[in-house]
Amino acid sequence: MISRINSETRLYVLIGDPVEHSFSPLMHNAAFQFRGINSVYLTLQVKSDGLGDAIKGIKSMGILGLNVTIPHKVSIMKYLDKIDSNAKNIGAVNTVINKDGGLIGYNTDGAGALAALKRGNGDPAGKKVVLLGAGGAARAISFSIAPFASRLVVLNRTRSKATSLVKAIKKRLNINIAGEELTINTLSRELADTELLINTTSVGMFPKIEETLVDRHLIKPNMVVFDIIYNPPETRLLREATASGAKALNGINMLVNQGALSFKLWIGLKPPIDVMLRAINRELRGG
Ligand code: NAP
């Protein structure tokens, strides 16, 4: 790919802070190479107080597309010329297209999670879903699955964030949904009749890989347990789900699908999902 860089090579970037551990360059550069697109994807560390200047630079230098990560997913919205309705509902943007000098914001996290669930035989359609967490990823996923689930229960350590997420969804969708504090009692009550459990918190993520929010005795063999963490690929929650006979899905397919949706928005071509997945799996296996 490097040998093809020339004066016509176009640039796509991830902005955030930190960005050095991101897998996005691996999957997008693999996709550009596979599709024969003369573009490169780089990470740019942008501090919070430099976001406005970075956006001006992106416009003036004609960078064609961005991914946006922590801490800019919300704060970037005020700099954009247009925001699609899904990203507006979620209240965060993770993908931007620079079209004719105007920046348009999207959020592909929720659709990426839904695609990963369907691909892993964990379709939420008609199921009661318990979702742990009410942060950025939880908001995106809730808005995507709420229209299909028979009931959605959001449990979060900080109760007010769960209730405000539920309020935001109820304003737009007439669905069976509730939000409560995440406690041993609420978890045990809600998991008793749940078919799909989704962890969107960072509990269990590297380096604190032995942490889990869910007692293994609460996991039933008929459950699908989706942990959106991808590092490690098998969290303690997923290890215990498998040991309990439940179906375990990790965050790698969500990562790849949200990236594939960004690729589609930027390039307008079918993303090579398997190529992108292979690039990430190679890295997770140690290169
Ligand atoms: P975020 O906005 O900071 O939200 C973090 C969530 O985790 C909050 O609900 C927080 O609860 C909860 N939490 C953190 N520590 C906790 C603890 N000790 N006990 C209970 N709850 C705790 O982060 P995010 O952007 O949503 O990301 C969350 C996770 O998803 C990260 O691990 C990230 O890597 C992963 N992720 C994966 C993908 C993918 O493509 N697979 C995409 C996006 C994110 P409070 O509200 O009480 O603080």
161 lines ligand 1 (CB under 6 A): yes
State the pLDDT at residue 67: 97
Could you confirm whether 73 is annotated as catalytic? yes
**Is residue 103 scored above 90 in pLDDT?**
yes
Round to whole Å and give the CA distance between 212 and 281.
Answer: 24
230 CB less than 6 Å from ligand 1? yes
What is the pLDDT at residue 285?
Answer: 79
pLDDT tens for 107-158 read 999 999 999 999 999 999 999 999 999 998 999 999 999 999 999 999 999 9
Q: How far apart are CA 122 and CA 129, in angstroms?
A: 11
Q: What is the pLDDT of residue 112?
A: 98
Sign of the dihedral through C-alpha 99, 101, 107, 113:
positive
Residues 215 and 197: their CA atoms lie apart, in Å, by: 13
pLDDT at 287: 63
The secondary structure of the chain in percent helix, strand, coil, rounded to multiples of 5, reads: 45, 20, 40
In the chain, the largest separation of any two C-alpha atoms, in whole Å, equals: 61
Decide: 280 in ligand 1 pocket, CB within 6 A.
Answer: no
Q: Whose CA is nearest to atom 16 of ligand 1?
A: 203
Which entry of 47, 56, 59, 73 is annotated as an active-site residue?
73
Determine which residue's CA is closest to atom 40 belonging to ligand 1: 255
Task: Supply the pLDDT for residue 36.
Answer: 94
Closest Cα to atom 43 of ligand 1: 137
What does the pLDDT look like over 248-265, one tens digit per residue? 999 999 999 999 999 999
Mean pLDDT value across residues 47-51: 97
Q: What is the mean pLDDT of the chain?
A: 95
Who contacts 74 (Cβ-Cβ below 8 Å, separation ≥6)? 91, 92, 93, 136
Average pLDDT score over residue span 183-197: 98
- Calculate what percentage of the chain has a pLDDT beyond 90: 93
pLDDT at 284: 84
Residue 137 near ligand 1, beta carbon < 6 Å = yes
pLDDT one-digit tens code per residue, 16-45 = 999 998 999 999 999 999 999 999 999 999
135 lines ligand 1 (CB under 6 A): yes
Predicted local distance difference test score (pLDDT) of residue 89: 92
pLDDT at 246: 98
Q: Which band of pLDDT confidence, cut at 50, 70 and 90, is reported for residue 163?
A: very high
- Residue 1, pLDDT > 90, answer no
